[in-house]
Structures are given as C-alpha cells and as structure tokens.
C-alpha cells in the first residue's frame, strides 16, 4: 500500500529545557516492594508487561524501612529539623526502574513543611552524577512530584508555586508534577447552596482562575488532573451516595476538562489525566490522631468495575488532549477490618492497595483491561503526543451516563464535520438498530500541519455504538490499528454534492477510536 505522509508538527516548549518525548502511561503510587532485589525485579517487570512506562513514586513516611542501595535501592534521606518531623518523608529512586525500562518520579512531600535548603539538597542529589547515582539512573529519573496535601483549596496553588520554582531553578531538565482536582474550584459546598446555577458558574470561574495562576509561570511544565466521574455507592439502607472520592462532582467533569484543554493550549503546557483503576473502599475507617486506632465510619455497596468503566476513565482525558495517563488506585479496597495504627508502616494494606496486579476481587478485570488500554495507548501515543487540540464536542448537550448538562455539541462552525439541515454530522449507521442514538458519543478534533484527526469515544458503559460520520470535503479516513499501530483504510462514501465524505464506525462501550483524515487517495480504497 502506498502511504500518505502527513508531517506532524511538534510544538516547542518555550518555558524550560524539559520536553515530553513519549506518551506517558504511568501509575500513581508505587508497587508493593519487599526490599528483596530478585522479588522486586519481578514486580517491576510485571508493571512493564502491563504496559506502564512511568511510576509516580509516592514514598509516604517510610523512614523505618530497611531498604538500601545494597538491596537495590538508592536512598536520599532528608534530615529531620525543627520544622520537618522525622516521619515527614524519604526520597527514593529505585535502581530497578532502569533495569525494567521504567521511568520514576520522586516524591517531594509535604509542601508546607519544605524549606529551601531541603529542596536544594534533594535536587542536588538528583543532578550530581556519583558512583551510586549513575547517568543511566538520571536518564530514568522522570522528575519530582510536588504534593499539595496540606494546602486548602483557597491557597493551594500559591503554596505549590515556590517549591516548583525552586526545583525548576535547580534542575530545569526535569519537571515537577503537581496533581490538581476539583479542589481548584474552591469550596465544594457551593454546589449545595440554593442557587446551583450561580454557584456552578462561580466554581468554574474559580477553577480557571486557579489553574491559570499555576500555568502562567515560566517554570511550571506539567500537571495531572485527578477526577473520577462514574463511581457512586449505596449505603446498607439502599441510599445512593457519591462519588466515593469525596469532592468529585460528576456533573462538572467535562466542563473542567474543557477548561484544562483551553488553558493548556493557550499556555503551551501539558497535562496528564488520572484515570481510576480500583474498586472503591467498601468499609471506611477514620481516626482523630496518628496514634489513635481506626474506627468504622460507614459500610458501602459498590458496583463492580467493568472494562467499560476503565476505558471510559482513560479515554475521557485523551479526547481533551491529555498527553499521558497516570492510573490511580484507591486506598484500602475491600478492607474488612480496621487498618493498623500506621498503615504506611504495614506492607499488606498500604502496598497491596496500590498494586495493579493483585486486587482481591477485581484482579482479572483490572489487570486485563488496564493492560489492553496501556498497550493500545502506547501504539497511539506517538501520534497523540504531536496533535494540536482544536475542540471537543458531544453528541448531546446532556451526558447520558453522568447527566452533566450544557455540553458543547456539533454546530455549523465545528471544524471538520459537515452539518446541514438535512444532513447531520453524526447519523445512524446503515445497519444500526432503531434504538441507535448519538447521545453517547464525544469527539476530540485535532490538527497537525494540514491533517485533521478525530478521537471518537463511546461514553456509554453498556451499549455498542454503530454510527455514520459526515466530514467536509474529499477526505480519506484511516483508523489506527490498536494492535499493530498501523493506519488502516476505512471504507468511505463520497458525494460531490453536497460535498461530504461519510464513514461508519462500531465502537464498544467506553472505547475510543483514533481517525486520521487524509487529503489524498491511497490505493486501495473502496468508494
């Protein structure tokens, strides 16, 4: 087959020496480590085989752990000071990551107790090549995670920025990864007030303002977005509550992604999505102080995860121009009894809850589908990384799964799509059933040089969507083969009048297809 070459424009990062060179497929929180070199090598290999290329290595208060460089781990300890308790943090770069071909982020936590001398010590440790810290380890060192755990929504960004700036000045080759969520909107109680429309507008305004406060700095490079749209739970009495994550209002998910896509495009910055990869906790425990025992708070009934849930979580970010995903696993899945006084000091609960290969009841669903998604994204990644986002539109202004309203829909001014009174941009496919609807579809529209690309997602978690797409002009559609990474021709229908090209897709629940619209004919093509 003769190939059509469409040169992809790679945008230059004007703000720093760091530039993303691959689509990130990572995990938030480390695998479960044992301290044994041979055992942990197997764990790292399992992550690589599942399609991960990056670990965001959260080390939470592991000051008593016995691991050291002789066992395969390189430690960077921050000495306790009056302002930094002994249990504050330990920084670790595992030498095993480069053996497994993975990159690692190093944690910097918490923001409020960091002082300049300690940031300088940490960055110096990771910029100075020594016999213990080799150039190969430097290559696999992805960057620094700055956790804003102790900051309130009102001052979160202002408290993060000084640490990010100092790290940038010390080590501009490596980014600081900061995770944001709905907390950028401010007080979530606004949603419970008597004027929900006014408070929704206020929340969105606050989100954009606070996000721009972060993005409009030359030293900020990347952030991740932590938000879970479809999880709810039922109390034993049958009362529906949620989402379990607390603060993630499912009626505002795509609106926040729209803001992120717009503002990262404006500033040339990068964001990565954090899809959820766990069943939520069935039993919630709490305690007043770190010395107290955990006590039960509530028992929940959680709907089982399905592959469609996982696909929907991951691809929702991609259609809004995320340049990577970092799977996040929720703490304490299915813990039936209170955790120990110090869960981070106890391997089984803390470590196991963060491991993608060993969930108590959903291991086959999670492991199999996360692997499928990761491997498919890795084959699409080189293309996705180089695309420039234009807009994202939905088949209906109200989402059928999470009931978010006022979503942008296709209009006569939408790029690429043909939209006339008698010809809709998206229609029922030739053999679609009578129940067909475009309500569940969402489309990300991109360009690169003279080519357009579409990420078409089926948001339904239960129904396969078989539909026809009408695009302007004499286009030749190609779909990326998620098994091989090659572009396959899609059968098209071309009409000179009214001047549109039509093609059909069948998309399973939660899935996404990547389409390239080529301007020239490639043989063989079926018209």
Q: What is the model's pLDDT at position 44? A: 77
- Reading the block at residue 245, the tokens are 């994550």
- Reading the block at residue 408, the tokens are 């942008």
Q: What is the CATH number of the domain that holds 449?
A: 2.60.40
Q: What is the model's pLDDT at position 6? A: 38
479-491 per-position pLDDT tens digit: 999 999 999 999 9
Does 334 share its domain with 401?
no
For residue 473, being part of any structural domain is answered with yes
Q: What is the CATH number of the domain that holds 381?
A: 3.20.20
C-alpha 148: how far from its chain's center? 18
pTM of the model: 0.85
- Lowest average pLDDT, out of 138-142, 389-393, 413-417, 520-524, goes to 520-524
Does 352 share its domain with 433?
no
Question: Considering 386, 421, 450, which residue would you say is the last residue of a domain?
Answer: 386
For residue 5, being part of any structural domain is answered with no
- Lowest average pLDDT, out of 22-26, 169-173, 295-299, 470-474, goes to 295-299
Does the pLDDT at position 346 exceed 60? Answer: no
C-alpha 432: how far from its chain's center? 32
Which residue segment(s) compose the domain that 402 sits in? 388-518
Q: Which residues pair with 393 in a beta bridge?
A: 443
Mean of pLDDT values over 220-237: 76
Which residues, 6 or more positions from 450, have their beta carbon under 8 angstroms from its beta carbon? 6, 519
Does 299 share its domain with 381?
yes
Q: Which residues pair with 413 in a beta bridge?
A: none
Beta strands in 29-174 (DSSP E): 54-57, 73-77, 90-94, 103-108, 141-146
Structural domains in the chain (count): 2
Q: What is the model's pLDDT at position 460? A: 94
Does 373 share its domain with 510?
no
Region label for 307, one of left (φ > 0), alpha (ψ between -120 and 50) or beta (otherwise): alpha
Distance in angstroms (rounded) separating the CA atoms of residues 491 and 502: 9
For residue 205, being part of any structural domain is answered with no
Give the dihedral of Cα atoms 447, 451, 457, 463; nearest 10 deg. Answer: 160
DSSP label at 350?
I
Place of tokens 């053996």: 99
For residue 307, being part of any structural domain is answered with yes
Distance in angstroms (rounded) separating the CA atoms of residues 460 and 309: 9
Does the pLDDT at position 14 exceed 60? Answer: no
Handedness of CA 36, 42, 48, 52 (dihedral sign): negative
Distance in angstroms (rounded) separating the CA atoms of residues 319 and 261: 10
Place of tokens 């095993």: 96
For residue 524, being part of any structural domain is answered with no
Does 398 share its domain with 483?
yes
Does 379 share its domain with 511?
no
- Lowest average pLDDT, out of 253-257, 262-266, 298-302, 380-384, goes to 298-302
For residue 1, being part of any structural domain is answered with no
Question: Considering 367, 386, 405, which residue would you say is the last residue of a domain?
Answer: 386
Place of tokens 């991960």: 52
Does 381 share its domain with 393?
no
Going by their DSSP bridges, the two strands 283-286 and 270-274 should be labelled as: unpaired
C-alpha 256: how far from its chain's center? 13
Q: Please spell the DSSP secondary structure of 405-470, one letter per residue.
A: -S--B--TTSSSB---SSS-SEEE-TT--TT--STTEEEEEEEETTEEEEEEEE--SS--EEEEEE
Q: What is the model's pLDDT at position 218? A: 93
DSSP label at 164?
H
Tell me: cis bond preceding 498? Omega within 30 of 0 counts. Answer: yes
For residue 82, being part of any structural domain is answered with yes
For residue 31, being part of any structural domain is answered with yes
Does 374 share its domain with 393?
no
Burial-class residue 29 by CB neighbours within 10 Å (0-12, 13-18, 19+): buried
Distance in angstroms (rounded) separating the CA atoms of residues 57 and 171: 18
Q: What is the model's pLDDT at position 118? A: 72
Does 483 share its domain with 379?
no
Rg (CA), the chain: 24
C-alpha 307: how far from its chain's center? 16
- Lowest average pLDDT, out of 19-23, 64-68, 130-134, 472-476, goes to 64-68
Give the dihedral of Cα atoms 93, 97, 102, 107; nearest 10 deg. Answer: -20
- Reading the block at residue 237, the tokens are 């009495």
Question: Considering 386, 421, 440, which residue would you say is the last residue of a domain?
Answer: 386
3-state secondary structure 40-80: HHHHHHHHHHCCCCEEEECCCCCCCCCCCHHHCEEEEECCC
Confidence of residue 322 (pLDDT cuts 50, 70, 90): very high
- Reading the block at residue 313, the tokens are 């979580």
Which residues, 6 or more positions from 391, have their beta carbon under 8 angstroms from its beta carbon? 408, 414, 415, 444, 445
Q: Round the average pLDDT of the chain to a whole number and report it.
A: 76
80-123 per-position pLDDT tens digit: 444 434 333 445 555 667 777 888 887 655 565 667 877 887 78
Does 71 share its domain with 38?
yes
Does 350 share its domain with 375?
yes
Q: What is the model's pLDDT at position 522? A: 59
Spatial contact of 293 and 310, defined as CB atoms under 8 Å apart = no
Does the pLDDT at position 338 exceed 80? Answer: no
Q: What is the model's pLDDT at position 230? A: 65
Does 449 share its domain with 514?
yes
């Amino acid at each position: 087959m003769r190939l059509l070459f469409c040169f992809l424009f790679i945008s230059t990062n004007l703000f720093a020496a760091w530039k993303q060179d691959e689509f990130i497929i990572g995990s938030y929180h480390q695998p479960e480590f044992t301290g044994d070199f041979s055992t942990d090598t197997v764990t790292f290999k399992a992550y690589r085989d599942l399609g991960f290329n990056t670990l965001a290595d959260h080390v939470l208060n592991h000051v008593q752990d016995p691991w050291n460089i002789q066992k395969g781990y390189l430690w960077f300890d921050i000495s306790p000071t009056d302002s930094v308790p002994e249990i504050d943090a330990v920084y670790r770069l595992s030498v095993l990551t480069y053996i497994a071909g993975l990159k690692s982020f190093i944690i910097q936590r918490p923001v409020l107790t960091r002082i300049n001398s300690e940031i300088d010590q940490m960055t110096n440790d990771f910029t100075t090549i020594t016999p213990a810290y080799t150039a190969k380890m430097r290559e696999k060192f992805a960057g620094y995670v700055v956790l804003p755990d102790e900051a309130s929504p009102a001052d979160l960004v202002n408290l993060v920025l000084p640490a990010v700036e100092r790290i940038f000045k010390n080590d501009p080759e490596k980014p600081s990864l900061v995770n944001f969520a709905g907390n950028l909107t401010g007080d979530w109680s606004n949603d419970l007030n008597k004027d929900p429309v006014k408070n929704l507008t206020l929340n969105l305004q606050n989100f954009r303002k606070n996000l721009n406060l972060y993005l409009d700095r030359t030293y900020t490079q990347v952030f991740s977005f932590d938000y879970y749209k479809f999880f709810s739970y039922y109390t034993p009495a049958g009362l529906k509550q949620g989402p379990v994550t607390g603060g993630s209002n499912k009626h505002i998910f795509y609106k926040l992604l729209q803001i992120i896509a717009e503002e990262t495009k404006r500033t040339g910055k990068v964001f990565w999505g954090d899809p959820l990869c766990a069943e939520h906790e069935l039993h919630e425990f709490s305690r007043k102080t770190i010395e107290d025992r955990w006590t039960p708070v509530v028992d929940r009934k959680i709907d089982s995860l399905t592959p469609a849930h996982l696909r929907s979580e991951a691809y929702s970010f991609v259609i809004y121009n995320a340049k990577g995903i970092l799977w996040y696993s929720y703490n304490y899945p299915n813990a039936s009894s209170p955790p120990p006084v110090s869960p981070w000091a106890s391997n089984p609960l803390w470590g196991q809850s963060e491991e993608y290969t060993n969930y108590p009841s959903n291991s086959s669903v999670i492991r199999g589908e996360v692997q499928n998604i990761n491997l498919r994204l890795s084959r699409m990644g080189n293309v996705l990384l180089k695309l420039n986002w234009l807009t994202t539109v939905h088949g209906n202004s109200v989402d059928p799964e999470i009931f978010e309203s006022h979503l942008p829909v296709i209009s006569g001014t939408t790029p690429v799509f043909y939209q006339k009174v008698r010809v809709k941009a998206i229609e029922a496919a030739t053999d679609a059933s009578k129940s067909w609807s475009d309500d569940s579809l969402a489309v990300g529209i991109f360009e690169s040089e003279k080519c357009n690309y579409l990420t078409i997602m089926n948001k339904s978690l239960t129904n396969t969507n078989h539909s026809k797409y009408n695009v302007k002009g004499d286009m030749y559609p190609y779909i990326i083969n998620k098994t091989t990474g090659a572009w396959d021709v899609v059968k098209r229908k071309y009409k000179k009048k009214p001047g549109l090209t039509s093609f059909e897709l069948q998309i399973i629940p939660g899935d996404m297809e990547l389409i390239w619209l080529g301007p020239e004919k490639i043989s063989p093509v079926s018209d």
